[in-house]
A = this chain, B = another copy of it.
């Protein structure tokens, strides 16, 4: 049996989500997650520091997506244009076939205050890093912080809508609508 193969991490993630959702997050151990896909606990810990991190391991990739989106924007882009390109870039991170998995993940998080706190921490860390990137591009305060926080707000609101039952639009489409709503709201049009 070949134990090491491409996708080991992904298999562990799938298995973890499935067990968390079916048996409960607290009741599931790292060893059980590994065993359910024919791997050892040792292999699990080569990929994740603990079972909670299975749910948050995408955080760095998500940040990269935000930053790459901003890096690709023209030099003279306004803060809101930078937020727009960042959100477009992030949308690629959530293709349609990931929607069910995102729903499952959210349902696990919604049931555990400690995981909700970890999620808040993640979003707060993302906002800080986006603010840093905006400041590095010369955006002054408080515009940089306001734009960074707005990016995270638009992303969170869009993500929550994207995983709602019956929602069929892509996250990119939802983000554009929410960003436009924010612009109208703040600009006093709405």
Contacts and interface: CB of A to CB of B under 8 A. Distances in A.
A150 B150 CA distance: 7
A182 B117 contact: no
Contact of A185 (B120, B121, B143, B190): B143
Copies of this protein in the complex: 2
A149 B181 CA distance: 13
B124 A142 contact: no
A146 B79 contact: no
Interface string A141-164: 011011101100110110001000
Interface string A108-129: 0000000001001100100000
A186 interface: yes
A183 interface: yes
Given A142-B161, A150-B153, A183 B187 contact: yes
Main secondary structure, interface of A, reads: helix
A73 interface: no
A80 interface: yes
A159 to B, nearest CB: 12
Interface of A: 78-80, 117, 120-121, 124, 142-143, 145-147, 149-150, 153-154, 156-157, 161, 178, 181-183, 185-188, 190
Given A80-B186, A149-B157, A182-B186, 13 more contacts: A78-B190, A79-B190, A117-B117, A117-B120, A117-B121, A142-B181, A143-B190, A146-B153, A146-B181, A146-B185, A147-B185, A149-B156, A150-B186
